[in-house]
Chain A
Amino acid sequence: MTELIVLAGGFLAAAVRVATPLLLAATGETIAERAGVLNLGLEGMMLAGALAATLGATAGGPWAGVAAAVAAGMLLALLFAAVAVGARANQIIAGTAISLGAIGLTGMVYRQAYGVAGAGLDVPTLAALSVPVLSDIPLVGPGFFRQPAPTYMALAALPLVWWLLFRTRAGLALRATGESARLARAAGVRPRLVRTLATVAGGGFAGLAGATLVLAQVGTFAERMTAGRGYVAIAIVVLGRWHPVGVAVASLLFGAATALQYLFQTLGLEVPYQLFLMLPYALTLLALAGAVGRVRAPADLARD
């Protein structure tokens, strides 16, 4: 019995760990998409964040890494916004280009900074922080209360973003812009400014997500280390119905699907774990078709 709880607790902890960068990136993307911007450059912004975190942490400790990552994500998001919002070029194409470019840029900078040997495991990282008492709760304790700082940041961001979107005038203007830039403009909102700010905020979250990968999980940088997580975050926003709480649940689901793979390996089970990897995507497609509750994308998403 105790063994089972430990096992389940470990599974949950792994799920939360995998989910954290996804949740951070998806939270940022929720802000951008609510404003009407579909940011396929998210993958690149995460990657840029990961490298910046590595460089920053090497130079000034893990928190300098976090700050650098956020800045890098925002900078790349600003470039994306300049093209896709400012010049009103196609968001999908511009985002694809940003993600491609980030692979090249990070690869070059990384190799130059660390040489062929790479950064190794000398990067100072963020250790797990145990919340007293709470972390000793069986099952959920290790999962939610014995994690590195980014997990707590992601969890803290949820109510903040919810409050921003649904309880402030700025959030109202942002949602109105996502539904119809034309109508928002009629109400005195400046849609391009709103979209730019939302995109840049989303880029900051993506940068933080990249930092999480390096500083709280892998411990070092590798070329293309985000491995599609930015795109996964976009699917999560859809499955989470463009709502912070839904996005949190969806992130956990994606995290759990991956963690299941580790669990099966631990147990030595011969189960095709890929089926579980596919499951959240299948749910996302069902959500798109309107089968999982009532889902509606912001009406002006990815239009100019």
Chain B
Amino acid sequence: MTAPPALELLDVHKRFGSVQALHGADFSLMGGEVHALLGENGAGKTTLMHVAYGLVRPDRGEIRTGGVVRRVHSPRDARALGIGMVHQHFTAVPALSVAENVALAAGWPVAPGPLGRRVRALCERVGLPLEPDERAGRLGVALKQRLEIVKALAADARVLLLDEPTAVLAPAEVADLLRMVRHFTEGGGAAVLITHKLAEARAWADRITVLRRGEVVLRGTPQRLDTADLAAAMLGADPAPRAPAGTAGALIEDSASPVLVQLQGLEVPRESGHGIALRADSLEVRAGEIVGLAAVEGNGQRELLRAVAGRLRALRGRLEVAAPVGFIPEDRSTEGLIPELSLTENVALGSGPGDPWVRGRRLDWARARAYTSDLLARYGVVAPGPDAPAAVLSGGNQQRLVLARELARRPAVVVAENPTRGLDLRAAADIHDRLRRAAADGAAVLFHSGDLDETLALANRVVVVTRGRLLEAPAGTSRAEVGALMLAVV
């Protein structure tokens, strides 16, 4: 008789709106093991672990620990079962001290002397030294991460769910962190390591599970699975049905077209303002091109797009972008649109001199309204009319509206962040079509999608962004090779 798994997730289904995030996923974690959970953005890794941690209530499925079916409806339930989670986004309260954050997470008494000693002792025991009196907000990224782990361990976690803990760390810090995780499992704990990095998974995990589109597509040990197997499983062996070309750089570069975006030696800060997100040597985008940025989240592609769109100021370097720029931000409801304003008002949002309904300092709403009606018809936005508030539109129609607003101004450059995120296939195809037409009309299109298949399908040139650097994928680069560049396997 072997001991039952420390944690089991069986046949888990979860749907968010029109997106099926998990589709019958099974996962089991044995005591004493490090288990890598691999998958692309949107494959459902985080959602699956949120189910285990009580943050997401599954539509169907079962959670067991130690072989017993459990009810996990909140993080409190999960913690009571000895499950701790280290989130991708830090959850320490910045204004509180390290010790106070640990006490808050673990429910320890707060008297500073004994608490400080207790936290210091714990940190030393698990090999993650921290200064108990330091304010959490003043810690660097690696130490913040360390604090997150200490918080989980202080609550006596026997199962640690680590959501991309290495994404923000430097290589030496990664090794430190993973050594600590090993130490933890050797002491009888069990850990799930969510990651995109194949090499990391192979080097540190006892077992690997690969998730793709909400389903488990591969399971095994690092000894039996090589990098190619894993990459194929993660990204899908065959090109997705909507991708006409499985290779990048299909378009022969037309060197006669004017360069509309040009940058050199560009350094862009993180959106949070701390640190550098991007150090790009050079990039050119010509009229008629659709350049897709292939990148795993948090590698600087967002900052690159925002810098090109003029929404984020670069620290240094040269950046020349033809005007006007159309910008399609990732978050429709807080950045693309103002839900409580009417469609006409949303279309007029970025108005300024030059728009036909702007007359000096006055706005001619009748014209803006007529213009909006026309846009709705031309771009197939299903809406009650130009006076309806944007909030009543479906996600797909909201995105069509944003696209209509930006493209109808005939921008020289179009910048799009995850333009089809959360949309159904028809709406996504529609958006692709619009972007292609914009390029055909002479715009330079620069976009990023978290879905590599989409990037390959839409782009006629692919640039990989890893750790803030740009890497051109030469024409003819295969899907697997692009994936390898993204994941920094080579």
Cβ-defined contact, B91 with A172, below 8 A: no
A186 to B53: give the CA distance in the assembly, Å: 11
Cβ-defined contact, A173 with B104, below 8 A: yes
B-binding segment of A5-13, A176-184, A220-228, A244-252: A176-184
B110 within 8 A of A: yes
In the complex, what's the smallest C-beta–C-beta distance from A193 to chain B, in angstroms?
14
Count of interface residues, chain B, beta-carbon cutoff 8 Å: 21
Cβ-defined contact, B110 with A176, below 8 A: no
Cβ-defined contact, A186 with B91, below 8 A: yes
Q: Are A172 and B103 also in contact (CB < 8 A) when A179-B96, A180-B93, A187-B91 are?
A: yes
Cβ-defined contact, A183 with B93, below 8 A: yes
Residues of A within 8 A of B163 (CB): none
A160 to B80: give the CA distance in the assembly, Å: 32
Cβ-defined contact, B92 with A183, below 8 A: yes
B242 within 8 A of A: no
Residues 281-301 (chain A) with a chain B CB within 8 angstroms: 296, 298-299
Cβ-defined contact, B110 with A167, below 8 A: yes
Question: A169 is contacted by which of B75, B76, B79, B109 (Cβ under 8 Å)?
Answer: B109
A146 within 8 A of B: no
Range class of the A interface residue count = 20 to 34
Residues of A within 8 A of B104 (CB): 172-173, 176, 184, 187, 189
A180 to B136: give the CA distance in the assembly, Å: 13
A173 to B105: give the CA distance in the assembly, Å: 10
Closest to A185 in B: B75
Residues 60-114 (chain B) with a chain A CB within 8 angstroms: 74-76, 79, 87, 91-96, 100, 103-105, 107-112
Residues of A within 8 A of B91 (CB): 183, 186-187
Cβ-defined contact, B110 with A184, below 8 A: no
A184 to B87: give the CA distance in the assembly, Å: 14
Residues of A within 8 A of B103 (CB): 169, 172
Residues of B within 8 A of A173 (CB): 104
Query: Which of B93, B100, B108, B109 gathers most chain A CB within 10 Å?
Result: B93
Cβ-defined contact, B75 with A186, below 8 A: yes
Cβ-defined contact, A179 with B110, below 8 A: no
Cβ-defined contact, A172 with B75, below 8 A: no
In the complex, what's the smallest C-beta–C-beta distance from A39 to chain B, in angstroms?
20
A299 to B105: give the CA distance in the assembly, Å: 19
Question: B75 is contacted by which of A180, A188, A296, A298 (Cβ under 8 Å)?
Answer: A188
Closest to A170 in B: B110
Residues of A within 8 A of B108 (CB): 169
A187 to B96: give the CA distance in the assembly, Å: 13
Cβ-defined contact, A172 with B92, below 8 A: no
A168 to B108: give the CA distance in the assembly, Å: 9
Cβ-defined contact, A179 with B111, below 8 A: no
Cβ-defined contact, A179 with B100, below 8 A: no
Closest to A296 in B: B95
Interface string of B437-471 (1 = CB under 8 A from A): 00000000000000000000000000000000000
Cβ-defined contact, A171 with B93, below 8 A: no
In the complex, what's the smallest C-beta–C-beta distance from A298 to chain B, in angstroms?
8
Question: B79 is contacted by which of A168, A188, A298, A299 (Cβ under 8 Å)?
Answer: A188
In the complex, given contacts A183-B92, A184-B93, A187-B91, what are 12 additional A-B residue pairs having Cβ atoms less than 8 angstroms apart? A166-B110, A167-B111, A172-B104, A176-B93, A179-B94, A183-B93, A186-B91, A187-B93, A188-B107, A189-B104, A298-B95, A299-B95
Residues in chain A within 8 A of chain B (CB atoms): 166-169, 171-173, 175-176, 179-180, 183-184, 186-189, 296, 298-299
A-B contact pairs, 27 of them (CB 8 A): A166-B110, A167-B111, A169-B103, A169-B107, A171-B110, A172-B100, A172-B104, A173-B104, A176-B93, A176-B96, A179-B94, A179-B95, A179-B96, A180-B94, A183-B91, A183-B93, A184-B93, A186-B87, A186-B91, A187-B91, A187-B93, A187-B104, A188-B74, A188-B107, A189-B104, A299-B94, A299-B95
